[in-house]
Amino acid sequence: MTEKITIRVFIADDHAIVREGLKQILAEQRDINVAGEAENGVDAARLVGKSKANVMLLDISLPDRNGIDVLKQIKKDRPELAVLMLSMHREDQYAIRALKAGASGYLTKQSAPRELVTAIRQVAGGQKYVSAALAQTLASSIGADHEAAVHEGLSDREYQTLTMIASGMTVSEIARELSLSVKTISEYRARLLVKMQLKTSAELTTYAIRNGLVD
């Protein structure tokens, strides 16, 4: 009898309760083992490199580093590792950026309990994983004759700052959330206004709402 291949999963999320919930789901699967875990971006990049994981669950909103930045670093060090991004954000906000950065899939935390195991098995097999709704969005955009929206030209950090401003957060609150200085966030905001040819945070918010970047 052929032994079933074990999928080794590394979990990176700053919330202990989320990590425990994910581990509980995976503990019920005979072909999946948890190979390690981390609660921030620095440890995630360091520890996954030492682990024997072949799939990584990576939170897109880590306390010390943007998850997409961590993803890019990990893919440089371990290009063969399948990385499945986890997020509280709607798929159309960050999924395409994550996939372009090298992610094998994108899963919202709300859908994780019912889709997690399927997603892990799929990316472990070398395939991409996206929800049916996101697949439809991607399919609709192929070959579409439209001018790229202004926000598509923003860096990952600029885009994140835009969505946080549009969600009603102040520069100080964003700085605390991202573990960056107020000066750095103010510079991101200034860059956003120049790139998007807008004048105020209110105009940034209006743009984000109009383009469906925030709920």
Instruction: Give the tens place of pLDDT for each residue, 121-151.
Output: 999 999 999 877 677 666 665 554 445 577 8
pTM for this one? 0.72
Indicate whether 103 pLDDT > 80. yes
CATH of domain 150-211: 1.10.10.10
CA distances from 70 to 32, 77, 100 (A): 24, 11, 14
Place of tokens 């709920």: 215
Domain residue extents for the chain: 7-139, 150-211
**Six-digit token pair at 155?**
């860096």
pLDDT of residue 146: 47
**Six-digit token pair at 22?**
């994910």
pLDDT of residue 186: 93
In the CATH hierarchy, which fold is given to the domain comprising 7-139?
Answer: Rossmann fold (3.40.50)
pLDDT of residue 1: 39
Mean pLDDT (the chain) is 86
CA 37 to chain centre: 17
Asked which of 9-13, 47-51, 61-65, 193-197 is least confident by mean pLDDT, the reply is: 61-65
Closest CA to 186 of 197, 168, 173, 202: 173
